[in-house]
Amino acid sequence: MPKKETSGIVISNKMNKTIIVAVKKQISHKKYNKIMIRTNKYYAHDENNICNIGDTVRIQETRPLSKNKRWTLIKLINQI
């Protein structure tokens, strides 16, 4: 089974070797058919502390690394 991958924007890097990534997705309301934006926050492992706030990154699902961390950093797409 392939691991999930997604991309998002770093919103916090205050923890050591951990970043918080906000992933936005568009969904359609079932009744009104309005396009809505939903945001999920994922804790991701950043081994070398290379990410800063505002960077666009690609993350991949992994085994549980802590209570909240289930994702790991694959690639830094856009650096600010």
Domain ranges of the chain: 5-78
In CATH terms, the fold of domain 5-78 is OB fold (Dihydrolipoamide Acetyltransferase, E2P) (2.40.50)
Question: To which residue do tokens 């009104």 refer?
Answer: 32
- Whole-prediction pTM value? 0.91
- Is 7 within 8 Å of 76 (Cβ atoms)? no
Distance CA 69, CA 20 (A): 9
pLDDT at 80: 83
- Is 43 within 8 Å of 57 (Cβ atoms)? no
DSSP labels, 24-70: EEEEE-TTT--EEEEEEEEEEE-TT----TT-EEEEEE-S--SSS--
> Would you give per-residue pLDDT tens digits along the chain (80 residues)?
889 999 999 999 999 999 999 999 999 999 999 999 999 999 999 999 999 999 999 999 999 999 999 999 999 999 98
pLDDT at 53: 97
Kindly state the greatest CA–CA separation across the chain. Answer: 46
